[in-house]
Chains A and B, each alone.
Chain A
Amino acid sequence: MDADEVSRALKRIAHEVIERNHGLDGVVVVGLQTGGVPLAERLARILKDIEGVEVPLGTLDVAFYRDDIGLRPVLPEEVTSVPVDLAGNTVILVDDVLFTGRTVRAALDALGNYGRAKAVQLAVMVDRGHRELPIRPDYVGKNLPTRRDEVVDVTDDGVSLGELVADRAGR
């Protein structure tokens, strides 16, 4: 996927979000640290271009909710900021790559602390398979079959597939 394809996928996802939720009433966009945050910002901008509504935008770091604390070094990477009470709202959780589903599981736990959302929908740029938990995305940029030991990177320049490097082990 090159940069244009990522942009087109984001626009399509934006339209799907509006269609599925019948507009943007009560919609909150939350990006997962760190890869999901720039995508969430872009998604919120596109939603505003289409509907003229500014949706609340948050960020979430799930370091303290992971189930592998004690198995690998866990460090919070960036800030968590959820600007509104989620009770009664629909959360669009945004991440760059969906892999085992464990990060999303941790994110669902974390979101629960900010109020009982009416619904949580998951948007990812790449679904690379290899799920270890019963989690599925609602909006997908691209389904990308991978080997377990490959690394998927989403940047502003697009999506790239690389070989595993030592310091990404266990991701």
Chain B
Amino acid sequence: MSARSLVSITDLDRDEILGIFHLADAFKEVAERPIPKVPALRGKTVATMFFEASTRTRLSFETAAKRLSADVMSFSASTSSLEKGESLRDTIETIDAMGVDAMVVRHKSSGVPAQVRAWTKASVINGGDGQHEHPTQALLDCYTIREALAARAGDEEGPEDLRGLRIGIVGDVRHSRVARSDVLAMTTLGAEVVLVGPRTLLPPSLDGWPVKATVDLDSVLGDLDVVYLLRIQRERADSALLPSLDEYHWRWGLTRQRAARLSDRTLVMHPGPMNRGVEIAPEAADLPSSLITRQVKNGVLIRMAVLFHLLGAPAPGLIDVPDVPDVPDVPDVPDVPDVPDVPEGAELPESDGQLARGALHA
């Protein structure tokens, strides 16, 4: 069994998520220094292995690793021996044999990072897999919301988690790994989540998922503390899931008219890259309460925190970790059960014990 990994948000419990936020707070100060670099992970090697295109996630992870003084190896599927027909497993085992401490894996198929974890001794971090999960995106989203609430609280201490917030996730929830991870993270932190989108792009069943869903954006927009817009992939309009991008824009987009009706306390978020004129009007992303550039900035901090959490901590069994002081009881956060069915063609990793909550402590 390999080292501590982050494949799914369910690998972390509430306290671990808040611990990562605490680390990110510390790295925020590091990022503002004249020399924004600390020697914390000197001698560790992080391999970014992107089998699917990405700019921001990959650069964000590489920046984070370098700010912690780790060495970075970069792998792109298009220029690799995969082109010569090498199997995924052989590729992973080759890189593992070179001795890396962490692999950041992105792949178009769901479940690849969970599978990779069985093939390597390194920590595996999911950089986005198919329609399954994108855990670091969800962590940075929740961190960004918490930071915005703290800024609003001024001198008073901001909220510890997201309890009491109503968050609307709008768009192609059905195919979105970001939405899946966000739902898990936000509800673990106590928020109430409502999914909004055309029937064809909502999950076919919410059975066991602690969220609500609606097709009518205007019926919930006024009650939302956070509007989280997902990217609409243009090919969805060609695959008969959407009538047209224009129709999507006026029914589910944050149009100029809807943006004007938003209270100035409503936070607007988007994981990027944005399709202006589809899910968001050109000017809405520049609203004062839009957190979109903060999300990118915080992405580096959260990925530093995740890398440090996984690589900087003592190896299991090396020392006795002192007991962590008791944390006050939290009102029941509903257990997040299995994810609903995903349309055919996508595979989910089996949710066996290895993915269960708390597996990091093993």
Contact = CB atoms under 8 A, between A and B. Distances in A.
A7 B26 CA distance: 32
B22 A167 contact: no
A73 B314 contact: yes
B38 A75 contact: no
B314 A76 contact: no
A167 B322 contact: yes
A61 B318 contact: no
A69 B312 contact: yes
A122 B77 CA distance: 52
A115 B263 CA distance: 45
B39 A76 contact: no
Given A114-B34, A169-B322, A109 B39 contact: yes
Contacts of B26: 61, 63-64, 76, 79-80
Interface string A103-132: 000000110011100000000000000000
A74 to B, nearest CB: 6
Interface string B4-19: 0000000000000001
Contact of B315 (A65, A70, A166, A167): A70
The SS class assigned to the B binding surface is loop
B211 interface: no
B92 interface: no
B356 interface: no
Contact of B34 (A61, A115, A166): A115
B240 interface: no
A20 interface: no
Contacts of B313: 70, 73-74
A170 interface: yes
Contacts of B37: 113
B40 A64 contact: yes
A143 interface: no
A155 interface: no
Interface in B293-320: 308, 311-315, 318-320
A170 B26 CA distance: 23
Contacts, number: 60
B326 interface: no
Interface residues of B, number: 27
A64 B34 contact: no
Nearest to B315: A70
Nearest to B323: A167
Contact of B33 (A75, A79, A114, A166): A114
Contacts of B19: 75
A65 B322 CA distance: 21
Interface in B308-352: 308, 311-315, 318-323
A169 B315 CA distance: 17
Nearest to A115: B34
Contact of A75 (B22, B311, B318, B320): B22
Contact of B314 (A64, A72, A113, A169): A72
Nearest to B68: A64
Contacts of A61: 26
B19 to A, nearest CB: 8
A155 to B, nearest CB: 19
Interface in B118-157: none
A114 B36 CA distance: 10
Contact of B30 (A64, A85, A170): A64
B29 A81 contact: yes
Contacts of B322: 73, 166-167, 169
A64 B38 CA distance: 6
Contacts of B308: 64
A93 B132 CA distance: 50
Contact of B312 (A74, A114, A169): A74
A61 B38 CA distance: 12
Contacts of A85: 34
B23 interface: yes
Interface of B: 19, 22-23, 26, 29-30, 33-35, 37-41, 68, 308, 311-315, 318-323
- List the 10 closest A-B pairs by CB distance, nearest first: A76-B26, A64-B38, A167-B322, A64-B40, A113-B35, A69-B312, A80-B29, A113-B33, A73-B321, A72-B319
Interface of A: 61, 63-65, 69-76, 79-81, 85, 109-110, 113-115, 166-167, 169-170
27 contacts: A64-B26, A64-B40, A64-B68, A64-B308, A65-B38, A69-B41, A70-B311, A70-B312, A70-B313, A70-B314, A70-B315, A71-B314, A71-B319, A72-B314, A73-B313, A73-B314, A73-B322, A74-B313, A75-B23, A76-B23, A79-B29, A80-B29, A113-B35, A114-B33, A115-B34, A166-B322, A170-B319
